[in-house]
């Protein structure tokens, strides 16, 4: 199957994107609420799209990255998306019914009732990212479709082969008024963000997330932002250092650190730092005995991102940070392929680029502490991260760390695992995002919770003196109800 990025030659403009949105919105209104059967069928078609075209999609991602293992793309993007979709397919029906709520007293004594009805919002715009090009489109789409909405997808222009293939496959299986894809560069993404969606999802950097939110504010569009940040790892003194190093190495190796939940900075007690460095070197080298020409190593997605990470490491070194290589030393071929070993950057100054910015690549910042409170204070002094990781067997310390930090999600004695929880919300907080998808919480995110009050057969207000002209008895009753 061809993965030529020129398959879709549509040039999207503000008017054509708006026309697509309006087409979906008009059909959404005309069709009325989507039944359970319709929702299930739509989700199943997306599942079939991924299952039937998994190899072609993985080939497209490999071409876009210039080197990405099929097994990783299959595991992270295809299976990750399928997990979200299948969980939604198998569970959304139990989330759909209205929920009874207590009515207004004393009218409930006369038959008044109340409930909350969960309604689809309408048309949802979803902007995906390049590092997980399928997952960031189809995982939120699972919740969007489960709630009965229509959707328009905007894949990242940094992965043009994947974007074009997704656009073609979606057009083959869905009418445009149900699900559609808009492709193009940053200019198209900016136009996409300006549309009057009924909800918008964006995955990407915090800076671009702010721009998206500003655009959404013009139309008062609610947003779900999945951003990032410097996801920290706290290693308590009770931790098994080799086990921690193994889990961190595996998590950092995934997509060569190009994941929004990749461990970014590790805090370890100063007495254990050298043991951690040695173990990280051993574990990472065990995963990748060679770097250049190793098809298991994901390349940096392009020259710009490769150069950015290299600049972070060089800047830290120039400021006196110690740089330790985990894996073989770089070779000319490795550089040409944009494949590099993991660099461990120890105690970089707080004003260095690598300490201030999300790394999103093959480097890991390691800081030491003498008291774990120093690590927690440093984390709390920055923006809330998308993920936080704790290693240790001290239950009291673990509880203290969780109680005294705030992050989108947490994995304990492992890294990058909590996003795989299909029945638990995935999302950020503060600078790492807002809102969430996955599971029941994802269904609620893309539903309007509509309160409904239904009057009973008799209204006692007039006979009880509760309507004008007010009598003294009613005035005294109101005053008597004002109690602490």
Q: Are 236 and 373 found together in one domain?
A: yes
Q: What is the pLDDT of residue 124?
A: 98
Q: 260 is written with which tokens?
A: 């929004």
Phi, psi of 441 (to 5 degrees): -60, -35
The answer to whether residues 315 and 353 touch, using CB atoms and an 8 Å cutoff, is yes
Distance CA 31, CA 123 (A): 13
Residue 290 exposed, middle or buried by CB count within 10 Å (0-12, 13-18, 19+) = middle
* Residue 374 placed within a domain: yes
Distance CA 364, CA 351 (A): 16
* Residue 115 placed within a domain: yes
Distance CA 205, CA 432 (A): 9
Q: Are 122 and 151 found together in one domain?
A: yes
Low-confidence ranges of the chain (pLDDT < 70): 1-9, 330-334
Phi, psi of 87 (to 5 degrees): -65, -45
Q: Among 377, 398, 427, where does a domain finish? A: 427
Q: Tell me how long the chain is.
A: 484
Q: Are 394 and 415 found together in one domain?
A: yes
* Residue 280 placed within a domain: yes
* Residue 149 placed within a domain: yes
Q: What is the pLDDT of residue 1?
A: 35
Distance CA 70, CA 81 (A): 15
* Residue 121 placed within a domain: yes
Distance CA 409, CA 386 (A): 6
Q: Are 99 and 198 found together in one domain?
A: yes
Q: Are 137 and 69 found together in one domain?
A: yes
> Which residue pairs, CB below 8 angstroms and at least 24 apart, start in 25-29?
25/122, 25/123, 25/150, 25/198, 26/177, 27/150, 27/177, 27/178, 28/120, 28/122, 28/123, 28/149, 28/150, 28/177
Q: Are 149 and 246 found together in one domain?
A: no
Q: Are 363 and 255 found together in one domain?
A: yes
The answer to whether residues 263 and 411 touch, using CB atoms and an 8 Å cutoff, is no
Element (H, E) at 387: strand 387-391
Q: Are 273 and 357 found together in one domain?
A: yes
Q: Are 183 and 303 found together in one domain?
A: no
pTM over 0.85: yes
User: Parallel, antiparallel, or unpaired for β 232-235 and 265-269?
Assistant: parallel
Distance CA 279, CA 119 (A): 52
Distance CA 64, CA 159 (A): 5
* Residue 466 placed within a domain: no
Distance CA 436, CA 417 (A): 16
Per DSSP, 350 falls in state: T
Distance CA 39, CA 12 (A): 28
Dihedral of alpha carbons 24, 25, 27, 32, sign: positive
Q: What is the pLDDT of residue 228?
A: 87
Q: What is the CATH number of the domain that holds 236?
A: 3.40.309.10
Q: What is the pLDDT of residue 334?
A: 64
Q: Active-site positions? A: 226, 260
Q: Are 189 and 294 found together in one domain?
A: no
Number of domains in the chain: 2
The answer to whether residues 137 and 165 touch, using CB atoms and an 8 Å cutoff, is no
Phi, psi of 115 (to 5 degrees): -155, 165
Q: What is the DSSP string of 294-345?
A: -TTSPPPSSHHHHHHHHHHHHHHHHTT-EEEEESSPP-HHHHHTT--PEEEE
Q: Are 92 and 20 found together in one domain?
A: yes
Q: What is the CATH number of the domain that holds 182?
A: 3.40.605.10
Q: Are 162 and 51 found together in one domain?
A: yes
Radius of gyration of the chain (CA): 26
Q: What is the pLDDT of residue 369?
A: 98
Q: 34 is written with which tokens?
A: 């989507």
* Residue 6 placed within a domain: no
* Residue 107 placed within a domain: yes
Range of the domain at 321: 232-427
Element (H, E) at 53: none
User: Parallel, antiparallel, or unpaired for β 199-203 and 223-226?
Assistant: parallel
The answer to whether residues 130 and 123 touch, using CB atoms and an 8 Å cutoff, is no
Per DSSP, 416 falls in state: S
């Amino acid at each position: 199957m061809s993965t030529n990025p020129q398959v879709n030659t549509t040039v999207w403009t503000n008017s054509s994107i708006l026309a697509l949105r309006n087409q979906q919105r008009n059909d959404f209104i005309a069709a009325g609420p989507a039944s359970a059967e319709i929702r299930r069928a739509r989700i199943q078609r997306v599942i079939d799209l991924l299952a039937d075209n998994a190899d072609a999609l993985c080939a497209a991602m490999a071409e876009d990255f210039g080197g990405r293992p099929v097994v990783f793309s299959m595991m992270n993007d295809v299976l990750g998306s399928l997990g979200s979709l299948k969980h939604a397919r198998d569970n959304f029906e139990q989330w759909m019914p209205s929920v009874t709520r207590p009515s207004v007293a004393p009218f409930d004594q006369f038959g008044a009732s109340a409930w909350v009805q969960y309604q689809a919002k309408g048309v949802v715009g979803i902007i995906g990212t390049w590092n997980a090009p399928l997952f960031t489109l189809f995982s939120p789409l699972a919740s969007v479709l489960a709630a009965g909405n229509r959707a328009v997808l905007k894949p990242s222009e940094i992965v043009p082969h994947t974007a074009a293939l997704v656009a073609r496959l979606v057009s083959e299986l869905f009418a445009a008024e149900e699900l559609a894809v808009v492709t193009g560069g940053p200019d198209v993404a900016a136009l996409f963000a300006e549309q009057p969606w009924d909800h918008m999802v964006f995955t990407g950097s915090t800076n671009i997330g702010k721009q998206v939110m500003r655009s959404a504010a013009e139309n008062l569009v609610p947003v779900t932002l999945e951003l990032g940040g410097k996801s920290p790892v706290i290693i308590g003194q009770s931790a098994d250092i080799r086990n921690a190093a193994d889990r961190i190495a595996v998590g950092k190796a995934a997509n060569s650190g190009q994941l929004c939940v990749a461990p970014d900075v590790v805090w370890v007690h100063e007495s254990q730092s050298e043991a951690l460095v040695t173990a990280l070197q051993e574990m990472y080298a065990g995963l990748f005995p060679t770097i250049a020409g190793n098809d298991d190593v994901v390349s940096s997605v392009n020259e710009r991102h490769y150069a950015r990470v290299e600049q972070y490491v060089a800047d830290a070194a120039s400021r006196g940070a110690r740089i330790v290589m985990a894996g073989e030393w770089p070779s000319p071929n490795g550089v040409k392929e944009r494949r590099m070993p993991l660099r461990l950057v120890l105690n970089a100054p707080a004003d260095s680029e690598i300490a201030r910015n999300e790394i999103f690549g093959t480097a890991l910042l390691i800081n030491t502490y003498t008291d774990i409170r120093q690590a927690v204070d440093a984390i709390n002094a920055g923006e809330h991260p998308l993920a936080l990781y704790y290693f240790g067997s001290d239950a009291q310390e673990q509880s203290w760390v969780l109680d005294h930090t705030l992050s989108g999600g947490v994995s304990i004695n492992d890294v990058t695992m909590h996003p795989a929880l299909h029945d638990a919300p995935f999302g950020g907080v503060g600078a790492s995002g807002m809102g969430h998808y996955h599971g029941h919480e994802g269904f609620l995110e893309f539903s309007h919770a509509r309160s409904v009050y239904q009057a009973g057969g008799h209204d006692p207000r007039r006979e009880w003196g509760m309507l004008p002209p007010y009598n003294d008895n009613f005035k005294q009753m109101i005053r008597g109800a004002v109690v602490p």
